[in-house]
Amino acid sequence: MDTENGIAEKLTPRELEVLKRVATGLSTKEIARSLEITFKTAACHRMRIMDKLDIHGVAGLTRYAIRNGYVELGDNTRPGETQHDLFDRVRQTELKYRNAMQDYGAFLKERESIGLTNPDGVTGARRLRRAEELAHQEYHAALVALKNFLFSR
């Protein structure tokens, strides 16, 4: 990790989590939902990261995260996969991820509407949250595979 100027030590563990999610292409709203924090808190973390690293764009943050090993760049292509296959895979996994986030969000709203605020102890919440995490991992793997395919040419 980046230790030239001690930059890595300047970022808190939560800021590193946010940086990783920014680098995988998540919006601030999606980051907030995935970390179970408010939008405002996620935006604040993102702003602090940008200030600490003196990088003021998503592309720059993504390059920084890749260069310093915060984002996995393993080869996630499948044998014989073409560019069209990879684009299709990204579209499918992105849709699956969005649906999982919507399902989890709907579950939370439903519980909130009847006065229940803490879903952590509920089996349904854990199942939906896990489905969202797995969908995110699949989506990220598809994006990395596409990036590797495009940059290996």
Break the chain into its structural domains and give their ranges: 7-67, 83-151
More confident residue, 105 or 73: 105
Q: What would the pLDDT profile of 4-24 be if each residue is shown by its tens digit?
A: 445 556 899 999 999 988 887
For 139, counting Cβ atoms within 10 Å of its Cβ (0-12 exposed, 13-18 middle, 19+ buried), the class is buried
- Written as six digits, the tokens of 39 are 């939008």
pLDDT band at 1 (very low <50, low <70, confident <90, very high): very low
Q: What would the pLDDT profile of 49-81 be if each residue is shown by its tens digit?
A: 999 999 988 878 888 887 887 876 555 555 666
DSSP state of 73: -
Sign of CA dihedral 90, 93, 99, 105: negative
**pLDDT greater than 80 at residue 31:** yes
| Topology annotation, domain 7-67 | Arc Repressor Mutant, subunit A (1.10.10)
Average pLDDT over residues 118-135: 75
pLDDT band at 128 (very low <50, low <70, confident <90, very high): confident
Instruction: Give the per-residue pLDDT at 8.
Output: 53
Mean pLDDT of the chain: 80
Reduced DSSP (H G I as helix, E B as strand, rest coil) percent helix, strand, coil of the chain, to 5: 70, 0, 30
Q: Are 133 and 97 in contact (CB under 8 A)?
A: no
